[in-house]
Amino acid sequence: MYTNNLIKAIRNLNIEDRERFDEYAYNYHYDQLGRTKLPKSEVEKYIRKFLTGNTTSLSFNNFNSFLYALDMLHNRGAQNALFNIEKQKQPNDWRSLLIKSTSDVSLPNKVDPLHLDDVNIAIFKNILKITIEIASGDSMDETTKNLKLINEFMENFLR
């Protein structure tokens, strides 16, 4: 059951995450286990055999490297994979977006909460809306590029 969940989770990775998964699994062998002479192609072969069921055994080192790679990709990635917990869905409304993007940071020290009246909160809301509209692109790459440009502009404004 848990092995099948792990296989399913790895198979469901998108291309970019799958490449990063392979890299993290290799790095585990190289950095954590000190297996500096192990070719990357060998680790990729272990992964391929595991995912296709062409192996009847799996070393603890390989198993740990897979779990490590999932944890490097996603918060609680290994745990979520083993227990078949779906990856948290992407936000699809303003509230979800703000909670996801701000839940791990506190209000900056420079911000006086007393200054956050209804008028200023409305202005802040409009700034966020405009920023998201400007950043949204036709592709993930374009959106990322736009967000990085906006971020750079704002960071330069603070200096």
Contact between residue 68 and residue 32 where contact means Cβ atoms under 8 Å apart: yes
- What tens digit of pLDDT does each residue of 22-80 get? 999 999 999 999 998 999 999 999 999 999 988 878 899 999 999 999 999 887 888 88
pLDDT band at 87 (very low <50, low <70, confident <90, very high): low
| 94-102 vs 118-135: helix crossing angle, rounded to 10 | 90
Secondary structure tally for the chain: helices H, strands E: 8, 0
B/e letters for 32-61, b = 16+ CB within 10 Å, e = fewer, are eeebeeeeeeebeebbeebeeeeeeeeeee
- What tens digit of pLDDT does each residue of 92-109 get? 677 777 777 776 677 788
Predicted pLDDT at 22: 95
